[in-house]
Structure 1
Amino acid sequence: MSTQSSWGEGDFSRFICTANHGFAPYAQEELRRTFGAVKSTVLVPGEILLAGLPIAEEEVSTKLLEDSPTFLRHIQPVQFQENTEDSAQAMEKLISFVLNHTELTGTKVTLQVRKTEGSFWQENAVSLKQLLTEKLDDLGCEWVVRDADHVISVFVANDMLYAGVSRPDQNLSDWSGGAIRFQKEEGQISRAKFKLLEAEQTFGIDFTSFHKALDIGAAPGGWTSFLLERGLEVTAVDPAKMDATLLESPKLTFLKKNAGDVRFREGEFDLLVCDMSWSPKLMSRLISDLLYSLQSGGTAVVTVKLLHKKPLALIKEVIDTFERSRMQIQHSKQLFHNREEITLYMIKY
């Protein structure tokens, strides 16, 4: 039975919430801390859950954007739900639900479709998206992939079909499920570059506005290559080898040393980045000891490895260390490309 008429009204709303694999329990805890009681059903273990929140739908994204959750990557409203035992009827009702959104006519719309294993739709999500696009031809909208005015979100989970219509900002990410995809480039040194590309988009950092960067734990050079491409002068520090192609750049200074053994001029850099596979507590102390070289107003982008079972407490401890070193936290976020880590975006005051 469809329950679209009663959802999203009054002081109760439902959302499909997504986190990196294994981190949904922490996203759920963030929801609980923000909204109080949360009723949830697991759709994909450790990754996707259906959450009922004691707050009106239009207030949810506003509150989440204010609180900037670390682990909650993406949400989509559930305004329509239908059992797929009769899949043809469920699809007809879904089409009717979307076509009733006359505000979509004449606007740019993206259709985002996801599915779980074992759902009624045996083919992939792309084929379902193609079918729905054809069925929704009467909507009279312009179908786009990016920069949409509205998002139609469809999620097929086992025996249920869920859908909602929202603005991209209301979903926390305008990518389907918050899964940002980048094309691997020929000659790309490592996939670590994707982390900075995603941070650039998610946090709105204009890396071309910086002049001199310090890259701690730089080898083999994924982040260094990104910064050189943005036109920065880069000082890279690592006892391991850097990619040979980078060493040819006149804008690169490579110090084949441990980070604890280097010294710089005070305020020498306007950007500091670090993506080391170190203990987060050791990393935060090491970086704090080098922050004298970052000028006031300078930016730091640092990944924090989550090595034990209490990431919320660990993140707080690391953030406290940086805040004592005059760093203002702009964002603490587990990006799609972070996997078992988070990214801190900070500015020195």
Structure 2
Amino acid sequence: MTQWICTANRGFATYAMEELRRMFAEMRISQLTHGEVFKIELPLEREELLGRIREQEPIFLRHIQPVERVLPLKGSADDLQELAEIARGARLRLEGRTVAVHVRRAEKSPYPYSTSDTKAVLDAVLEELGADPVVQSPDVILSLFAGEEQLYVGIATPEEMLSDWPGGAVRFQREEGQISRAKFKLLEAERAFGLRLEQFREGLDIGAAPGGWTHLLLERGLKVTAVDPAELHPSLSQYPRLTNYRKNASEVKFEPGTFDLLVCDMSWSPMQMVRLVLDLSDALAEGATAIVTIKLMHKKPLQTIKDVISRFGTGFQLRKAKQLFHNREEITLYLVKK
């Protein structure tokens, strides 16, 4: 029997639960943070569960943490002392490795210590053990979730937890002159899908205005064609590698095989979006990548996603579908043209 803390985007935990139920029939669920964090318990060994998640990663499950120890929450210095002893007991798993400490809490948790105070104590223990405390790109993560009555502790790699950010909440720093926060969605997609945008040559941005995604592609050195009847941000006019069409995407045509990357982040209905991208697919080279957000505008998102993926299958191979931290009422698809 194993236990796991699972996290989805706020309001989408129900769909993450449903995906997990379809994968694991004998599963018990208890809610920790309404609509976002829940705990599952099931009669599977750790490696079996992780293997099945790797084979078919749920779309709405943003983060998963093994629960190896459960401590009663005392709300005193005893909590930190017990956490320190747990870390010392895991010396063989931590010694000589880079280790990040992740601390999260339920909204009404009485756990009295800040993230920085908890990390300071545990980082000191890690150094004592011969581990190297880090913030980014750790070998392993020591993860703590403070519930309303208990502390849940687990150790795993970033790959096993689906993210190297606490709870999978990927946070980028806003830059001076940044056109829109939509840029964060494409940055996160790049990380989540294992892409390097600078390796592409020529990109097509459909529904580009005001130009957050276009700007990122230009920064990475691509030649970009932006299509949108609305106006792009004036700062983009400085890029000679930008071609801008002030038209609807249905009104433009391009030479076959022109682009090796298509990106699209438009607030259209899901099937309209599919038709639009498929209509433009001839402009993509064979093996070209498409990063597309799909708005979940209906009450049955799992069925909508199934229909969208099926329709895209006529021209593209789906590599991954994921609701990223920066997605709201949408998911992001990573597609490759057949």
Q: Per the shorter chain, which TM-score range? A: over 0.9
1:119 to 95, 109, 113: 109
Q: Deviations over 1:4-23 (max 9, x none)?
A: xxxxxxxx211100010011
Aligned to 1:31: 20
Partner of 1:211: 201
1:181 aligned residue? 171
CA contact (8 A) 1:115 1:125 kept: no
The aligned residue for residue 48 of structure 1 is 37
Distance in 1, Cα, partners of 2:322 & 2:288: 19
Match of 1:233 in 2: 223
Counterpart in the other structure of 2:271: 281
Q: Which amino acid aligns with 2:6?
A: C
The CA deviation string for residues 206-258 of structure 1, in whole angstroms up to 9 with x for no partner, is 21121111100000000000110111111100011100111221101100001
* 1:37 alignment partner AA: E
1:183-224 CA distance string (max 9 Å, x none)? 111100001111111111111112112111110000000000
Tell me which moved more, 225-234 or 32-41.
32-41
Aligned residue number for residue 150 of structure 1 = 140
Aligned to 1:6: none
State the TM-score, normalizing by the size of structure 1.
0.93
Q: How does 1:50-69 map to 2 (within 5 A)?
A: 50-69=39-58
Deviates more, 1:266-275 or 1:118-127: 118-127
Moved over 4 A (4+): none
Unaligned runs of 5+ in 2: none
2:210 to 214, 217, 220: 220
Amino acid at match of 2:65: Q
Change (3 A) 1:122 1:92: closer
Whole-angstrom distance in 1 between the partners of 2:156 and 2:294: 32
- The 5 A counterparts of 1:288-303 are 288-303=278-293
Q: What is the CA–CA distance in structure 1 between the aligned matches of 2:218 and 2:277, rounded to whole Å?
A: 21
Shift of 1:91: 3.5
Opposite residue 219 of structure 1, the aligned amino acid is: A
Deviation at 1:139, TM superposition (A): 2.5
Q: Deviations over 1:48-67 (max 9, x none)?
A: 00111221012222211110
Q: Percent identity?
A: 50
Structure 1 unmatched runs, 5+:
1-11
Any idea what SS the aligned residue of 1:245 has? helix
CA shift, 1:86, in A, is 6.2
From 157, 160, 166, the equivalent of 1:170 is: 160
One-letter identity of the residue aligned with 1:40: I
Amino acid of the structure 1 residue aligned with 2:154: G
Q: Does the aligned pair in 2 maintain the 1:155–1:162 contact within 8 Å? A: yes
Q: 1:19·1:47 contact (CA, 8 Å) conserved in 2?
A: yes
Give the Cα separation in 2 of the matches to 1:38 and 1:160: 20
Query: In structure 2, the residue corresponding to 1:71 is in which secondary structure?
Result: coil
Give CA deviations for 1:158-182 in whole Å, capped at 9, x if unaligned. 1111101112211111111011111
Structure 1: distance between partners of 2:174 and 2:45: 41
1:293-332 matches, within 5 Å, as 293-324=283-314, 326-332=315-321
Work out the CA distance in 2 between the residues paired with 1:143 and 1:128.
13
Distance 1:134 1:333 in 2: 36
Secondary structure of the 2:23 match is helix
For residues 139 and 311 of structure 1, the distance between their equivalents in structure 2, rounded to whole angstroms, comes to 47
Q: Which amino acid aligns with 2:86?
A: F
Aligned residues: 337
Aligned to 1:8: none
Q: Tell me the secondary structure at the aligned position of residue 298 of structure 1.
A: strand
Q: Tell me the SS of whatever aligns to 1:16.
A: strand
- The Cα RMSD (Å) is 1.4
Q: Deviations over 1:273-329 (max 9, x none)?
A: 1000111111111111111111111110000011122111001111111111x2000
Distance 2:197 2:226 in 1: 16
The offset of 1:106, in angstroms, is 2.0
The TM-score, its normalising length taken from structure 2, stands at 0.96
1:102 equivalenced with 2:91 (yes/no): yes
How has the CA–CA distance of structure 1 residues 128 and 263 changed in structure 2, closer, same or farther, with 3 Å as cutoff? same
Give the letter for the 1:118 counterpart.
K
- Does structure 2 conserve the Cα–Cα contact (< 8 Å) formed by 1:153 and 1:164? yes
- Asked if 2 retains the 8 angstrom alpha-carbon contact of 1:19 and 1:72, the reply is yes
d(CA) in 2 for partners of 1:174, 1:282: 35
Aligned to 2:6: 17
SS in structure 1 at match of 2:234: coil
CA distance in 2, matches of 1:217, 1:241: 10
**8 Å Cα contact 1:35/1:54 also seen in 2:** no
Partner of 1:77, secondary structure, is: strand
